[in-house]
Each structure stands twice: as structure tokens, then as C-alpha cells.
Structure 1
């Protein structure tokens, strides 16, 4: 079901699956500027047998109304959208799954509205863009070496251990990773994953993605997303589950070490997977998520 959701004069794409009486689960996609499309394709039908899945294309992304070039937009808008959606759906409290940058959002949301959330699942999250960018640059370097491009590989390696700030590292990573072309996806996962995109034509996909870049550009300009959330992570009291892929470059070892200090925590590592366990091992992922949401176990 497509739910007609508006907040702050913007239409935001929301899909809902499952029975209203089932435990509610909000999915927050990553990016910034990706979409819930892949998660819905691989998980909505599976998870909605036991849960009420609510998936969102965040403000300004893909099927949501676009953000104009001169329109104000900040990170807080995404947090407020979550809470307004919960209010409109009359959900007392819900569970949240945050993938990648969505994990960053989930932690911010939990800190701002702690009573709105029951449990949190962090799937391959970042809580510190500097740590993540350095690790991504290392992975990018390894792919340049495989291509025989030693100059760019060495540039990535130098940046990964240099003194650049979080914003600079992020920008360098975006610039260099894009030079990998079709090989860029291998940064995130060793496993090719197929999602059926026939729901829209090629032209429709192009039109949907047009303008989405302002989502990232404006968050980058604001700069709040580069603030480390390690203090908020240390103060997290909600039951939480960290899902990581064995080869995921986003949730580096330092993230895991900090998460291991959190009370009421659980953790699972999916072997032979990268940054998208919900796509790479959909059945196992669905089983783990359902067990944790329903029983607090893994």
C-alpha cells in the first residue's frame, strides 16, 4: 500500500506492508540519497508475514517530491519526517531498521525521540563518517591496484591515513570511487545482487532519480552529518542489534569496538557478505530480523 504522507509541504513516498496489528518496523535507507526500493523488493513480502513494514524514500529522494535547488533542507528534516509519520499512522512506538547512513539517522532519531522506538537494528551502519571514509578509501585502493592503476591506488592509501577532516575524506572518496566506473559496486560487496527494476522503464528511472542529488548536496553543505555519533551510541539504552557483513567496508572495526560497549546489545556477522545483507542473504536476514523484533533474540 502506498500511504499518502505529507510533511512540511512535501510529499514523501511511503510503502506499507503487513497487518496493522503486527509489530511496526520503519526502514531507513542509506546513501545519503539511496532509496527503499531494493529493501522492499528483497524483504517486504518476507518480513510482512510477521511484521508491519513501513519503508520510506527519504525527503527529496527517488519517488518522493524533489527538493528544489534553492530550498532549505537539513538533517533534522529527516528526523522530523520519521516522527511525523509515526504520529500520522497513530503508532505508539515502533522498531527501526537503519541501513548504512540510515543507521546514522536511526541513532539520531532514537536520541531525539527515545519513547518513539522499541528496538533498533543497525545494518552495516556508519556512526562516524571519518572512520568510514578512511576504510572505503582503503577498499578503493585495492580495486585500483587490481586494475593496474597504481597512481590512484597510492593516492587512496595516502588519504586513508592522512590528516584530512571528515568532509574532505568523504569528498575525496566520492571523487576517486567514481573513477572505478562499473567496478565501483565491488567496493561494497563481492557478491553481485540482482534486483528486478522492471517496475519502471529506463526513462522513468532516469526521471525519478533526476534531482535526487540535492538531497546529498544540501546535507553535505550543512555538514551536520559529519559529526561523530559515538557519544550518542554510548548512551543508547534501547535493545539493539548490529548486523554486519564480513566484507562490509562501511562498518569498520572501530565502529564495532564502540558498539560492543553499548548495553542491551546484540551482534551478528553474516559470512561471505558485504554491505547489503538484506539483499545478499535475504532469507537468513529475514529470519534474524523477525526473531529479534518479536523476541529480542538472534
Structure 2
């Protein structure tokens, strides 16, 4: 009788779970997507699934250890058998949770989306585009978002920082105002975010990134019937952008660089020395000793951990700088974004660590002051006055020597390394003014 009741209980619970899931997909999820209301629900489910599995696994380990103790110190079968049964039950629970987590992971990968562009009443804007799309670039599957209120507007390709950085969520949030005037395309480069596994990490080189960006540009021109597009790159993306427009100027109206990289070795040495100087001024002797003990860059092993020691220190300094507006990052918000499934969220983190570690040493040979002094498209540098992650003096020096049809260096007085996040309104207005109103 009890066994029958137990089975009925399990059946009822299973039916209820299936009914709730079905109701969510049929009646709720579609209504939540315009406001990204799916994020707290689905992210919570993902976190609970991971925590439940972790706890279950710990309980199983503890149970096994206790059982081993019982076997060693009390060999009576009557004492051992209950613990063996507990291990079996806990194994079943753990296996069930692994199965659930697999289902959650696979489901989350198929439920990713970029939110529709809506008006003040929450209705999708007629003629707008909001796509999260996988495309082939040089034979590899890579991901992009395409967002704009009018598909006939000019195309603006955004090249994220890194290498290994994914900024699908950040640009959607911070550059939202540009969707009025452009179709904004953000690309998860190979080794980053949703495209983390697109190319074997040992094959990632500056040349490969340029080839992929070239393929993406041709795809966008063909799809939207454009002869040329605009391109904006930040940090590492600004270096990729310079190399891209230098090699294929016929495909671009203009280039915008922010947090502009000029020389990777000189930038790393500047950051290293600046971090030591700031640490000395603050009396932070532990940081001074830590940096000195790892020696000066460039690094060719443990690149991420060594670089992070001073780059994170400088980022923290900028986050506390009263001269910088909206400092800091929203990493948890970005990882939780609907563009990323659970596997993507893991790759979001792996990209910033592994891809950076493997690719960054391949960038040490880049110094645009020696290699690219002439570009055949207009060049605009939008720089934060208080940037200590990329030396502004290098940008000024490069700006003075570069030859282009037109060029401008525009300062953001309340920004650090990321003017597009520190002063997004001014950044978007400046983009519109220099790219559209001046042409």
C-alpha cells in the first residue's frame, strides 16, 4: 500500500513539473522576452541545478568516507549494509541531478536570444531587426547579434576587447541609442563567448582574426546590400580594427577606435610600471613585491594570471576614481544575459582566461607606429582621459603620425578605459556626429 502511494506521489510530482514547464514555454516565456524577464527565472534554475548537484556530490563523498570508516572499524554486516544502501540512494540522486543539469544545459543553449527592439508600449518596432545568429566564417561556426530599428540604416560592426572577450550584452545595453541610426553588429570572435570552440585555440592568430572579420564584413555587405560598413573597435578590438581597415579599406566608410591599442609590449610595460607606482603611493608594499617578483612583461607563460595582477589592480583604481563616471563592470549581469546558454556562460569565463593566455603573446610584435602609418579611410579615436589600461600618450603619438583622409582625436573627460560604458550618451552622440553628420 505504501509502495503504491509512493509511486502515485512521484507520478503526480512528475506531471506537475511537466505542466509547469509547458505553461512556462507556452504562456509565459514569449511575454517575458521583450523585457528580458526570462533572465532571473532561467538563471536561477541554472544556479539551483548546479548547486544541487554540487551538494549532492559532497553528500555522496561524505557518505562514502563514513562507510569506509564503518567497514574498517566495525565489520558487522548489520552496520555496514545501511551505509551501502545510503551510498546507492545518493548515487541515484546524484545521477538524476546530473541528468537534470544536462537537460537544463542543452535547453538553455537552444533558448538563447537577443531581446526584440520595442517601443514605449513594449511592442516590437516595425521594420526593426534583433537577431542572434550563427554564421560560417572561414569554415567555422561563429556567433553575432544584429540589432537596429531600421534594417536600411548603415551597418556598424563592433569589435570587442580581449582577445577572448564577449560583449553581446554590454553593447546591447550601453550602445542602445545607436540602434536608432545604425544596424549594430556585435561579433563573438573565435575563442570568445558563444564562439569559444569555433577554432582550435592554437590556430588563433592575428591573421585568423583579420580573415574572419573580413568574411563577416563581406557577409554583412551582401546580406544588407551595402557597398561598405563602419567599424568600431575597443581595446584589442581597436587593434584588430586598424589591421582590418588597413588591409581592406574598400569595405569600410570609417574606423572608430576606443581604448586604442598601439603597441602591445609598450602598453604592458606601461601598465606594469604604473601599477607599481600607484601601489608605492598607496603604501601597498605587498602589491609592489608581488609585481617585482613576477618580473616585467612581456610574458610567454601564465600570461593571464601575470597580466591580471596589474591590469585588475589598475581597473580597481579606475573604478574608485571620482573623475570617471559609471566605473566598474557588470560581469554577473552580462553572463546572465539571454544571449548565453549555460555552456556559453562557462565559455564566457574560459575565453577571458584561456584565449587571452594563448593569443596575447602573438600580439607583442604589433606596433602601429612602425607598421601602419597610413590608412585609406577616416580614423577617429574616442579616448578616456583617465585611462590607465592603455597609455593615452601612445594614442596621441600615433594620432600625430597617422595619415588618413580625415582624422579626429576626441577626449572623454569623465572616462577611463571604456568611454562607451563610462559616458555612453556622449559616446553614442559622438559616433553619430563623426560618422554620419560629418560625412
Q: TM-score range by the shorter chain?
A: 0.7 to 0.9
Q: Which residue of 2 aligns with 1:3?
A: 133
Q: Structure 1: which 5+ runs fail to align?
A: none
Kindly indicate whether residue 230 of structure 2 is the aligned counterpart of residue 230 of structure 1. Answer: no
Q: Which residue of 1 aligns with 2:360?
A: 220
If the length of structure 1 is used for normalisation, what is the TM-score? 0.84
Paired with 1:275 and 1:12, the residues of 2 have a C-alpha distance of 27
Q: Is the 8 A contact 1:98 1:122 kept in 2?
A: yes
Q: Is the 8 A contact 1:33 1:216 kept in 2?
A: yes
Aligned residue runs from structure 1 range 1-298, under 5 A: 1-18=131-148, 19-37=150-168, 38-43=170-175, 45-66=176-197, 72-89=203-220, 90=222, 91-145=226-280, 148-150=283-285, 152-153=287-288, 156=291, 167-168=298-299, 174-175=305-306, 177-178=308-309, 183=313, 185-189=315-319, 190=321, 191=324, 192-193=327-328, 195=330, 196-197=333-334, 198-199=336-337, 206-212=345-351, 213-220=353-360, 223-249=362-388, 250-263=390-403, 264-296=406-438
**Secondary structure of the corresponding residue to residue 401 of structure 2:** coil
Evaluate the alpha carbon distance shift between residue 82 and residue 68 of structure 1 in structure 2; reply closer, same or farther with a 3 A threshold. Answer: closer
State the shift of 1:124 in Å. 1.3
Paired with 2:301 and 2:369, the residues of 1 have a C-alpha distance of 18
State the shift of 1:252 in Å. 2.8
Is the radius of gyration larger for structure 1 or structure 2?
Answer: 2
State the shift of 1:105 in Å. 0.3
**Secondary structure of the corresponding residue to residue 15 of structure 1:** strand
Paired with 1:252 and 1:179, the residues of 2 have a C-alpha distance of 17
Q: Structure 2: which 5+ runs fail to align?
A: 1-130
If the length of structure 2 is used for normalisation, what is the TM-score? 0.59
Which structure has the higher relative contact order (CA within 8 Å, separation 6+)? 1
State the shift of 1:152 in Å. 3.7
Paired with 2:432 and 2:233, the residues of 1 have a C-alpha distance of 15
Q: Which residue of 1 aligns with 2:10?
A: none
Paired with 1:118 and 1:174, the residues of 2 have a C-alpha distance of 38
Considering fraction of residues, name the structure with more strand. Answer: 1
Evaluate the alpha carbon distance shift between residue 216 and residue 26 of structure 1 in structure 2; reply closer, same or farther with a 3 A threshold. Answer: same
